[in-house]
Structure 1
Amino acid sequence: MAHHSLKATKETVHFGGFSSDLKPALTVHSGDTIAVETFSGLNIYDQAPPAFVPPEFLDICQHLAAERRVGGGPHLLTGPIWVEGAEPGDVLEVKLHSVTPRLSIGFNAIRPGWGALTERFGEGHLRFIPLDLENSTAEFPEGSGIKIPIRPFFGILGVATAGTRNSIPPGAYGGNIDNPELQAGSRLFLPVFLPGALFSIGDGHAAQGDGEVCGTAIETSMNGTIELTLRKNMPLSSPIAETPSDILTTGFAETLDDAFQAALHSMVDVLSKLTGITETEAYCLCSLAANFRITQVVNSPQKGVHGLFPRALLPPQIRLLEM
């Protein structure tokens, strides 16, 4: 298997969404690993301190071509990556070997009309937050003594679908999942919709609470090493994942009730297929041992809920690949 390096440049990133028309930034084979760079904050770079805008990011902000601006969203993504042999109906496994903040600074923003409490907090608000990478903490507000643990992850991991779509709402294709459980050591499984899969990654988060209620996390540029593997016999209709501690299912819908039901349906299906127990037994097992959390409430029009089932409760040989 080969190892690749994908730098974030104006030729290898795209802004605002996903598109089947984008020229791939890299071509890989199943099982290859990629050291990938990402930047965040293109739409606020001109308000940022110099530490947030290294020269290579400034070049992207000032010279990104119009054809690599798609979808109308606020996210800068690296990719797409073409995976040789990927076909609709396949599953793309994304293994996260490492996730590391690229800069010692991030930002948090409230945007008018965006967030969980838009009537109470209707004005725009932007703050840049230093990251203490040595101690893996971020103090917020500065001088408060409140130290937030840094738990870096990529908010967006997704594949393209036909046409063009905005980067904000997540879905069966993954995309703006914004799930802080997807730390290094996790594996995410995404349905493939187009030849080559056209996988893109970005939206680095240094820290985020479940819900992401004000609309953003500590957004920052992020580097990582990922491994992309095709799974040809793994029927899947929505993203699922395996973290170092849990089996994880996702649900996306316009209401939290519907998102929760989608995550629960997926968990029942996964547990039944993995263990051989009946769907009724899996449903009861979810009531006994699964936990469901609000992923995010701000990626309109799709809210997110994820389910977690402890891997420690399952026989040690059981893994998602055995579905």
Structure 2
Amino acid sequence: MTDHFLKATRETVHLGGFSHLLEPVLTVASGDTVDVETYTGYYVYDKAPPEFLTPEFLDICQNLAPERKVAGGPHLLTGPIYVQDAEPGDVLEVRLEAIAPSLPVGFNAIRPGWGALPHQFHQPALRFITLDLANNIAEFPAGAGIKIPLKPFFGILGVATPETSRTSVPPGSYGGNIDNRELQAGSRLFLPVFVPGALFSIGDGHSVQGDGEVNVTAIETSMNGRITLKLRKDIQLTTPIAETPTDIITMGFGQTLDEALELALNNMIDFLKRFTNLSPEDAYVLCSLAVNFRITQVVNSPQKGVHGMLPKAIFSKSINL
């Protein structure tokens, strides 16, 4: 096993989406660990306070090559990372070992036409929010005495697909813009592999976010992380699943919340059938009794997200993924 360090530079990031045509910026073996840097705020850097800007980030914003601009999404992603021996049909296990903001400020933006209430809040608004990293909180609004505990995670964890380019905005079977706040340090995400090498990319750091992410953004934050990438040829998946220290998580992405819920529920039933040997009907009943379905996000058009959380504590035997 090897440890790698992947800095975010204009040679190692890409903007706006995923593409299997991008050259890998790092090659790893299964089980290798990567300390990875990510930046956010490509389209707002010219309005940002000095503490939001680093020389490397400014270089990215001012000199990113056209071939690194994949699609129209707003996200800067670090990668792609090529995983040796990964082939379509395999699963990539992403272990989130550590996640921490790299700068003491993030931003929140309201974008016209986006969000859960686009007709009510239709004027653009951009707020830079100070992060108290020593006390692990953000006070919002400033001076209000409302102190929000920071719970950092990466909004985007995904692999490339056979399409030439795919925008970074909607999530899907490849992962991408999942925006699931449960995927904090100590969690694992399992992604189906679609192209040789998997071509994994990461970014869209969030210091804190509520379920739903209703105004389009969280506290968007440049974020550093430590991840371990493990190739799994012993399991097959068609959609991402995740595991936290307390729960198994299945996900559903659809154009409506009803559709997303149905998919998350069916994915949980399939999981219970495969990993606990329950009948479909018993799995369905168990979902009604013990699984909590939550709105992941409602703003990554055209896909809304719902995730189901299955508490591991209810099982007398461990579920091994």
Question: Which TM bucket (shorter chain)?
Answer: over 0.9
In the alignment, what sits opposite 2:17?
Answer: 17
Once the two structures are superposed, the pairs formed by residues 52-201 of structure 1 within 5 Å of their partners are 52-162=52-162, 163-201=164-202
Q: Is the 8 A contact 2:40 2:203 kept in 1?
A: yes
Q: Are 2:312 and 2:318, in contact at CA under 8 Å, matched by a contact in 1?
A: no
Partner SS for 1:37: strand
- TM-score of the two chains, using structure 1 as the length reference: 0.98
Q: Are 2:318 and 1:304 aligned?
A: no
CA distance in 2, matches of 1:203, 1:23: 21
Matched residues in 1 for 2:316 and 2:223: separation?
A: 35
SS of residue paired to 1:30: coil
Shift in Å, 1:190: 0.3
| Structure 1 CA distance for aligned equivalents of residues 218 and 78 of structure 2 | 19
CA distance in 2, matches of 1:279, 1:93: 26
Letter in 1 for 2:207: A
Equivalent residue number for residue 316 of structure 2: 315
**Normalising by the residue count of structure 2, what TM-score does the alignment of the two structures yield?**
0.99
Amino acid at match of 2:139: E
> Which position in structure 2 is the counterpart of 1:5?
5
* Residue identity in the other structure for 2:319: I
How far 1:276 sits from its partner (Å)? 1.3
Counterpart of 1:220?
Answer: 221
Distance in 2 between residues matched to 1:279 and 1:147, nearest whole Å = 44
Superposed CA RMSD in Å reads: 0.7
Gaps of 5+ in 1: none
Contact kept, 8 Å, 2:38 with 2:224, in 1: the verdict is yes
SS at match of 1:42: coil
The total of aligned residue pairs comes to: 320
Note the C-alpha offset of 1:56: 1.0
C-alpha displacement at 1:310, in angstroms? Answer: 0.4
SS of the aligned residue for 2:44 comes to helix
Q: Shift in Å at residue 97 of structure 1?
A: 0.2
Shift, 1:74, TM fit: 0.2
Aligned position for 1:37:
37
Residue 294 of structure 1: SS of its match in structure 2? Answer: strand
Deviation (angstroms), 1:42: 0.6
SS at match of 1:161: coil
Q: 2:198 is aligned with what amino acid? A: A
- d(CA) in 1 for partners of 2:130, 2:204: 18
Listed as ranges, the gaps of 5+ residues in structure 2 are none
